[in-house]
Amino acid sequence: MTRQARAFITHPGFEILDQRRDALAARGQPFVGSKSVDLALDLEDRVHAFDRLQSERRDRRRLAECFVAHMGGDVGEHEELAPRMAPARRLKDHSRRPVRRIEPIEAGIGVGLKHARKIGKMALGMLGSAVARIEEHRRRRIGPAKGLVVAHIMRWTAPLLITCQGLPQEEVAMTTMTIGLDISKSWFQVHGITEDGEVIKRKLARGKVLDFFARLPPCVVGLEACGSAHHWARELGKLGHEARLMPARYVRAYVKTNKHDAADAEACWEAVQRPGMRFVPVKSAEQQGVLVLHRARDLLVRQRTGAVNALRGHLAEFGIVGPKGTASARELMGLATTDERIPSCARDALSVLVEQIQDLQAKIARYDDAILLAARSNEVCRRLMKVTTIGPFAATALAATVGDPNHFSSSRHFAAWLGLVPKQHSTGGKEKLSGISKRGDGYIRKLLIHGARSGVHRVRIHQVQNSWIADMLARRPFNVVTVALAHKTARIAWALMASGEDCRVPV
């Protein structure tokens, strides 16, 4: 008898063959019939299948032992072997055996992946095929996973998907060090990396942003310095996070693909970690309140200018032309409602423009009084207004915009932030300077240049004496001297704010 035949006869499942043969003999049916032979062959195939399952079980046992050798402990802590069953029951319940065999290994591997860094690469590679079979069986048994966590078993192998059972995805603790936040009016995009290497990409509604960050530990949040950015920076600061605002033109360089919210959030996350990145100081609510006065007044001034220009253009169609200036505009407003050269229908339309100009003028006067009161009540503004070319508007705008002057390393850094330094395009050791860069806050730059233009004009008409401006006018054009004086004024303003002293150098 061959070894294979001897193994088949001594197999525990051979009892079933004997029982079946006795049953057929009791009913008077021969055992050597075609039907009995088919039954015996089917039984033999099932016995061989049972042998293969037993062999798989031994292999899984060795796999668990290898796993425990790296993790420590005993195999019994990670695997509960199924109790012994009779051979007949095992053959009948073969559909249930994969559950009993997979659950122990599944428990062991589930624990091991939490400590994947402590397991050797060879042992983790051996776990790969078992994890794939476990995942396939789990999906057939309990359906799709509630949440997925990517675990990179080996650097050169494909990532394995392990299901997270127990807590919903929103309740999984995320420990992030850096977050990129792209803000808008209604929808916000979040991008971050946890300490475990998990990528967080979340699209949040406006009302859920603070709830999301309230569940996170203190971290660095990078966002573009755009509309409402200072508000969100203050709110994130109240939750214990460190918000860093970056100019949008600096963040744009880190957008890898087409521009969309997810790409912008990833660019913010990348840019905020750069050591050479420049950040915008977060303004307080009081600082923004003063700046709102300036912006609202500036809007009304532009509306008044547009209305006056429209009035001048309409009156010129009827031959009524006046010189430039505010005084001549008042005369034209009087002629618009009384001059006989204007038809009655046009006179009614022009009267609406006149009323609009008068209303805008009254509102601008109220804003002027509010800004003047704010300048007189602020100690920094009072010191700045001692500079000849700085008035209450420039002083309040500087104090509200700058906040902490120590954010700038030097006075030239402050002037460059305002865009009052030459634009440079040098290469190969050859310096090439052109006009001013016009970067930074254009409103403050406009106020400083207007003040400098007034100062240069008074020197040119010999109303005041200033040797520095007079020498510059002898060598340079008027506009160049104006910008140079605005640059000098900006550097003096930074020195006054940083030192807390009064102006001692004439401008």
DSSP state of 254: G
111: enclosing H helix or E strand: helix 97-114
Q: What per-residue confidence (pLDDT) applies to 353?
A: 93
Q: Tokens 């859920």 sit at which residue?
A: 208
Note whether 105 and 63 are within 8 A (CB). yes
Q: What per-residue confidence (pLDDT) applies to 452?
A: 96
Note whether 268 and 181 are within 8 A (CB). yes
Q: What per-residue confidence (pLDDT) applies to 44?
A: 59
Which of 63, 82, 81, 59 shows the shortest CA–CA distance to 71? 63
CA distances from residue 87 to 8, 11, 21, 91, 325 in whole angstroms, order as listed: 14, 10, 17, 6, 110
Q: What per-residue confidence (pLDDT) applies to 141?
A: 53
Q: What per-residue confidence (pLDDT) applies to 42?
A: 56
The string of pLDDT tens digits covering residues 324-342 is: 887 888 889 988 888 888 8
As a whole number of angstroms, the distance between CA 401 and CA 287 comes to: 7
Token digits of residue 228: 């409402």
Which positions ≥6 away from 331 have C-beta within 8 Å?
Answer: 322
E-state strands within 1-82: none
435: enclosing H helix or E strand: strand 433-436
As a whole number of angstroms, the distance between CA 6 and CA 231 comes to: 84
Q: What per-residue confidence (pLDDT) applies to 205?
A: 95
Q: What per-residue confidence (pLDDT) applies to 135?
A: 52
Which of 63, 177, 184 shows the shortest CA–CA distance to 126? 63
179: enclosing H helix or E strand: strand 176-182
Note whether 187 and 261 are within 8 A (CB). yes
Which of 466, 443, 442 shows the shortest CA–CA distance to 454? 466
Q: What per-residue confidence (pLDDT) applies to 161?
A: 36
pTM: 0.62
Q: What is the mean pLDDT of each run of 10 residues along the chain (507 residues)?
A: 48 57 65 45 59 68 58 44 43 44 43 43 46 52 45 37 40 62 94 86 94 93 94 95 94 92 95 92 93 95 94 92 84 87 89 94 96 94 93 95 90 93 90 89 94 95 92 95 96 93 75
Q: What per-residue confidence (pLDDT) applies to 43?
A: 52
The string of pLDDT tens digits covering residues 55-102 is: 766 766 666 565 555 445 444 444 434 444 444 444 444 444 444 444
